[in-house]
């Protein structure tokens, strides 16, 4: 029995554990902190970490991975995804017709697509399936154990929303009264006591970030896209409880007053931030709050397929999203890249990076939003750069991304944690 167990454990290990160190050889690598393109690029990787870069001599016993004509970058990061949702079925109906097990399998499929696109870390800011199991926490655990090919996943569990609000699935799906009445375990709250219970439940079951709905949204049934939802007392209670566990809070917020209220409550990031004004921008700068704009999706949504009310809200918010992001970039707000995938389809996440350059970022700033800035939002100081001692999350692209940012949309080589998952030898 012991031998069988040992064999199973051995088979679960990444393919390169116990193998020789890997020496990646490419034309160049981008130092994302300084913006310098360094030539050549020779990076030694062992035990999941970068050991050295561009040394004069290398050990005799290494496996060389030749990447001629390629430029190396740190693995990219997406700070706003929903892995258990996609639109291959054409609607949101899967959230009430699929089991939690099916949702986990769907999440694993979407996670692999995301990884193969060069995104080695993602923040899953809220599952949409009403299951007491924290599906995203389970998928994150499976990724950590090497059971599935997936990015490093930072899970949120259930999004915390008011009764009848943006995250109340009975409202989102327009279900009949009494059909799906959810409580704090599912993130649906009324009052500060419920909000604390909801936060504690998510953390108990594996959440590493808490997601709240400070306002309504485009997909809400509420007439206004920016209406306040969670109260000041509820948001403060959530933030204080989460921070006691050293867990940050991300706030879905479209409307101006809801954005400001969430910032004052102490959240770490504003998701979407569609209607920023000068005061909100200054508050973000003063308090070090990040913006995760999810801006590119508005260029992909087919508004003709939306019901009339939701189409009107999308048409109202779209130009304001663009203006808000451009103003935030110009003012120096810390902007981290997020897609709201599947609104940008899983595996096409880099579309958002390209769109950021159309809103006022330089190519370097856009890349930093998906590397160094995202790492800072995650409070992880060994991700987001190619440096000795840091995680060996490395991708290769076909061109200099400072000259052609669209090259990040086609990634031929991906390494996560020292394991080649795409584009290896042979």
Concerning whether 211 is annotated as a catalytic residue, the answer is yes
Cβ distance 317 to 227 under 8 Å? Answer: no
Characterize 258-291 residue by residue with b for buried, 16 or more Cβ atoms within 10 angstroms of its Cβ, and e for exposed. Answer: bbbbbbebbbbbbbbbbbbeeebbebbeeeebbb
Q: Which of 211, 133, 130, 223 is nearest to 170 (CA)?
A: 130
- Written as tens digits, the pLDDT of the chain (426 aa) is 333 323 333 334 444 444 799 999 999 999 999 999 999 999 999 999 999 999 999 999 999 999 999 999 999 999 999 999 987 755 667 888 889 999 999 999 999 999 999 999 999 999 999 999 999 999 999 999 999 999 999 999 999 999 988 877 776 666 656 667 888 999 999 999 999 999 999 999 999 999 999 998 655 556 566 789 999 999 999 999 999 999 999 999 999 999 999 999 999 999 999 999 999 999 999 999 999 999 998 888 766 656 666 666 676 677 888 999 999 999 999 999 999 999 999 999 999 999 999 999 999 999 999 999 999 999 999 999 999 999 999 999 999 999 999 999 999 999 999 999 999 875
The HSE-up count of residue 13 (CA atoms within 13 Å, CB side) is 12
pLDDT number for residue 8:
31
Q: How far apart are CA 53 and CA 42, in angstroms?
A: 6
Concerning whether 340 is annotated as a catalytic residue, the answer is yes
Which domains, and CATH codes, for the chain?
Answer: 2-74+384-422 (2.30.40.10), 76-378 (3.20.20.140)
| The two three-digit tokens of residue 210, written as one number | 């808490």
pTM value is 0.92
List the catalytic residue out of 211, 334, 355, 416.
211
Cβ distance 392 to 73 under 8 Å? Answer: no
Q: How far apart are CA 163 and CA 331, in angstroms?
A: 36
List the catalytic residue out of 260, 340, 393, 416.
340
Q: How far apart are CA 342 and CA 351, in angstroms?
A: 12
């Amino acid at each position: 029995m012991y031998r069988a167990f040992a064999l199973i454990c051995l088979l679960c290990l990444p393919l390169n554990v116990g193998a020789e160190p890997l020496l990646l050889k490419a034309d160049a690598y981008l130092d994302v902190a300084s913006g310098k393109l360094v030539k050549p690029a020779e990076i030694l990787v062992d035990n999941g970490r970068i050991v050295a870069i561009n040394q004069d001599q290398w050990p005799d016993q290494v496996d060389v991975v030749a990447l001629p004509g390629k430029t190396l970058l740190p693995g990219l990061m997406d700070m706003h995804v929903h892995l258990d949702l996609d639109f291959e079925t054409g609607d949101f109906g899967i959230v009430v017709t699929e089991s939690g097990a099916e949702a986990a399998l769907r999440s694993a499929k979407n996670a692999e697509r995301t990884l193969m696109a060069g995104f080695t870390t993602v923040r899953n800011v809220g599952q949409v399936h009403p299951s007491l199991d924290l599906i995203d926490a389970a998928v994150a655990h499976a990724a950590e154990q090497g059971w599935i090919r997936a990015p490093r996943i930072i899970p949120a569990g259930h999004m915390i929303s008011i009764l009848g609000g943006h995250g109340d699935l009975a409202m989102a799906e327009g279900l009949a009264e009494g059909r799906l009445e959810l409580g704090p375990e599912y993130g649906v709250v009324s009052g500060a006591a419920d909000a604390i219970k909801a936060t504690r439940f998510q953390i108990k079951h594996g959440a590493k970030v808490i997601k709240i709905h400070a306002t309504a949204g485009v997909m809400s049934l509420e007439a206004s896209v920016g209406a306040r939802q969670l109260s000041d007392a509820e948001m403060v209670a959530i933030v204080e409880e989460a921070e006691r566990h050293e867990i940050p809070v991300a706030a879905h917020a479209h409307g101006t007053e809801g954005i400001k209220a969430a910032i004052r409550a102490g959240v770490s990031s504003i998701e979407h931030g569609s209607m920023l004004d000068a005061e909100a921008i200054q508050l973000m700068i003063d308090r070090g709050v990040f913006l995760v704009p999810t801006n590119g999706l508005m260029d992909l949504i087919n508004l003709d397929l939306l019901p009339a009310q939701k189409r009107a809200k999308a048409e109202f918010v779209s130009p304001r999203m663009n203006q808000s992001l451009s103003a935030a970039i110009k003012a120096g707000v810390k902007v981290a890249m997020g897609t709201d995938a599947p609104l940008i389809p899983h595996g096409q996440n880099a579309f958002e990076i390209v769109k950021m350059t159309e809103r006022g970022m330089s190519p370097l700033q856009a890349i930093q939003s998906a590397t160094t800035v995202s790492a800072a939002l995650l409070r992880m100081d060994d991700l987001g750069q190619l440096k000795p001692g840091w995680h060996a999350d490395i991708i290769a692209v076909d061109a200099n991304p400072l000259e052609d940012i669209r090259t990040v949309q086609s990634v031929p080589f991906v390494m996560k944690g020292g394991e080649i998952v795409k584009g290896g030898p042979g």
